[in-house]
Amino acid sequence: MKVTLPRTLAAAATATLLAIAPTQAAGASTGLPESTGNPPVTASPEMTEAMQRDLDLTAAQVQDRVAHDEAGSDLADRFEDILGDEFAGAWLDADQHLVVAVTDAKETNRIRALGATPRVVERSADDLAALMAALDRTARPSPSQVTGWYVDVETNEVVIEALPDARGAAQRFVRSAGADADTIRIEITTDKPQLFYDVRGGDAYYPGSSRCSIGFSVNGGFVTAGHCGGVGTTTRGYNQVTQGVVRGSRFPGNDYAWVEVNSNWTPTPLVNRYSGSQTVTVAGSAEAAVGASVCRSGSTTGWRCGTIQAKNQTVNYPQGSVSGLTRTTACAEGGDSGGSWLAGQQAQGVTSGGSGNCTVGGTTYFQPIWPILSAYGRTLVTSGGGGTPPPTGCSSYPNVYSGSLSGTGSYQFQPNGSYFYSSRSGTHQGCLSGPSTADFDLYLQRWNGSSWVTVASSTGSTSSETISYNGSTGYYRYVVYSYSGSGSYTLGIRVP
């Protein structure tokens, strides 16, 4: 269910201290408090692993560095109190040794006595802060010319970052602030900072002029409902920031889509529970049975739960019928379309549509997640663990068959012109991949004792079709049919 703006809520459906000079006279006042005897500072296993990877350190070097960083940072804070107005900043050098900038050369001996390296400079920290404040009070230059400004304590300057060919704009910015140009360094950069946002299931996003909900993060973006927008539709996030483009969309027949996000957005394994800052971490995609509890997240009605009533339902919407949906007792409303469905931490699917609302209750249908991932070769972003990822691409199915159709109206039975027997009840999955210049359809048929009956179909406008059908034991066959065009195809089959 999608809602058109303006919003309408229709009822639809983390220590070893730095070296202290041992020659300090007993009883001399350092201005520092006595040791507190706190335990050594250590890095967590996760932080250790990341620092080993990103800083090229051994595990022992990580722990040593973290301890030095902590002690140096603490000592830097204390020097700010000790030196007062003469303090001009402090930093750790490449060896994690503390360097302290000071405007009064008389303070250098005290700085050395306390285990740091002094550096005499012209401007105090307060002077530099005043320069920053002057820039901050001035009308902002265009971000297409000047991308930022900061205090560089090591050079005792304020730095303005400007894009190529924008030095003049940076100089005008300095003059407008009334700042002394000798105190500011202009650096040319090609970096263009942008904000970063998380992709999170259940959050709102805006395809065109409508509002829908994110389903689940996948590699490169997220999956959602197909009826929310066709291929090429541009999307904005919950905050109205440009987000991505719909790269694949199917509706009717199926109701799924995937959106490729830009570099400002990071897919995460999280789903919004709409309860404070609470989220659910997606662990996998194990399929829940009929009768199991299931919960959904959507941008209109938040977190709602119910039970699974049936699978593989065909719903005949006014806009077109959709097959292979799962029927539930959870409620939903307009704008919840595309949102996440979870059984525990296992992804189940994305909201399609329904009837009723969250005041009187109702029935809601979701498009199962597995056909979506298969159709577009996407993988869920998860915390790890939980169900087995579905296949990505028809050739990865356990049973793969090939064929060729001669032209419009031609068809073939599979496997190999025949049929197969399923000795167990469960989910049948079929994946068809044909030529881009043709429109092939896929049907699953079951023998009812006297004739073949189509129990599931996928009839989109391309030759990439998927079927997911929950069936009982019996004889089955697939039919690959050319609605238009000819060429070779691959059919992947998964049986219960």
With vertex at residue 330, the alpha carbon angle to CA 329 and CA 334, rounded to the nearest 5 degrees, is 125
Contact 96, 65 (CB under 8 A): yes
CA–CA distance, 156 with 171 (Å, rounded to integer): 19
With vertex at residue 155, the alpha carbon angle to CA 150 and CA 156, rounded to the nearest 5 degrees, is 70
Question: For tokens 């009929």, what's the residue?
Answer: 290
B/e letters for 317-346, b = 16+ CB within 10 Å, e = fewer, are beeeebbbbbbbbbbbbbbbbbbbbbbebb
In the structure encoding, which two tokens stand for residue 168, read together?
């003049």
**Using the 8-state DSSP alphabet, how is residue 36 labeled?**
-
CA–CA distance, 113 with 117 (Å, rounded to integer): 9
Q: Walk across the sheet containing 279-281 and list its strands.
A: 197-201, 265-272, 279-281
Contact 99, 93 (CB under 8 A): yes
Q: Walk across the sheet containing 256-261 and list its strands.
A: 3-4, 210-213, 204-207, 234-237, 242-250, 256-261, 221-224, 216-218
369 sits in which H/E element: helix 369-376
- What amino acid positions are annotated as catalytic residues? 227, 255, 337
Question: For tokens 């080993």, what's the residue?
Answer: 52
Query: Cis peptide leading into 371, omega within 30 of 0?
Result: no
What distance lies between CA 254 and its chain's CA centroid?
A: 24
